[in-house]
Chain A
Amino acid sequence: MAKRKSLIKIKPKSYKDGEVVKVSFMVMHPMETGLRKDKKTKELIPAEYIKKVVFEYKGKVITTMNVWETLSVNPVFTTYMKIDGAGELKVIFTDSKGEVQETVAKIKPKG
């Protein structure tokens, strides 16, 4: 399966060590509930939704989210994180069909 388009955004764009910043992860995912019918075939569309999102900063898990099908299509997850040196921020999601995908952002504090 082709990689789903995803994005990590850090706000503000420029930050210092020790600063608490807003981090958002979004991904193009249908978040199918399993209750929707295909308009043409009238068949139920099988459930397919993100179950878990893990934020890993410099190899350490800082936030784990358990997610259900009740979140919106193309979901967005925003939380805070404290900047603690340069390194990678990885966001890994797992969906109900077992698909796992990783998105990486470089954390580069200024000063």
Chain B
Amino acid sequence: MKKGMQIVLCVTLLSSLTFASEQFAMSDADRAMYEELLENNPADMMLAEGSEFLDELGGESALAKYLGVSEDALPSYIAGFPRYIEKFKMVVSIDQMLQGMMHDSGQKPYALKSSEMFNMSSYVKALANDEEINIDVNANKHMKEAYALGKVVFETKRGARGLSCLSCHNPSVIGGILRTQPLPDISAKGNASAATWPAYRMTKSALATLQKRFQGCMNNALLAVIPLGSKEMTALEVYFTDEAKGATIALPGLKR
């Protein structure tokens, strides 16, 4: 019975998708106009603020030292997050790593959901601009486990509509238009989400990280929202980042 229900809902979802030729799809001229907005991305101001927060911790040199890499190697190292970090004994995203850095330097860490942390972690990820995503999910058993868990989170159908991330981001529906917006290919072959988030969200007039975006998506698709920085959430970021491996980081992004 439950299974039958899921199939019905799935078909409903698919039938509400139309394809790019449909009249509500954006024209190329429109898309070009929105791309031009990147020239003056309001998120640039938020990252500038994030840069000041990092300066209070000693700036990039202090960050490189904290991570045990040279300043020259910092951008490429950042392009490999989320990473397993020995001193934390866990796989962490940039924001949690920065919480550790704040804590170790005697400061009260910013909350993961705070705008201060969004601004600072986005600035730090943008240090890797022009680098290719180089996450290594086979680096150690922790990364392997995180990737495997991320894949499970990505594929598991949950919530009242029985949807998973995969329901909308799989090869058979990618490119389909769901309420005027094409469903993106999250991989390096497509829009490489992990390379363009954090981004300024025009609908929210705010900067959001990849994990924050996942929460928005879960909320809209009626899935229980997974907390920022939880094992599952970090694992999902690992999975997304691996999908975008090789893509060039270009931050901050600008999204609808």
Q: Which residues of A contact B (CB under 8 A)?
A: 5-7, 9, 11, 24, 26-28, 72-74, 76, 78
Contacts and interface: CB of A to CB of B under 8 A. Distances in A.
Determine the main DSSP class of A at the interface with B. Answer: strand
A24 B45 contact: no
A74 B40 contact: no
12 contacts: A5-B46, A5-B48, A5-B49, A7-B45, A9-B39, A9-B40, A24-B40, A26-B42, A26-B45, A28-B42, A73-B205, A74-B45
Contacts, number: 30
A5 B43 CA distance: 11
A26 B44 contact: yes
A47 to B, nearest CB: 16
A74 B42 contact: yes
Contacts of A7: 44-45, 48
Q: How large is the interface on B (under 10, 10 to 19, 20 to 34, 35 or more residues)?
A: 10 to 19
Nearest to B119: A5
B207 to A, nearest CB: 10
Contacts of B39: 9, 11, 24
Given A72-B205, A73-B205, A74-B205, A28 B45 contact: yes
B20 to A, nearest CB: 27
Contacts of A78: 40
Interface string B127-163: 0000000000000000000000000000000000000
Contacts of A11: 39
A24 B46 CA distance: 16
A72 B48 CA distance: 20
A5 B115 CA distance: 14
Contact of B40 (A5, A6, A26, A28): A26
Contacts of A5: 45-46, 48-49
Nearest to A22: B39
Closest 5 A/B residue pairs (Cβ) = A73-B205, A74-B42, A5-B45, A76-B40, A24-B40
A74 B48 CA distance: 14
Contacts of A6: 45
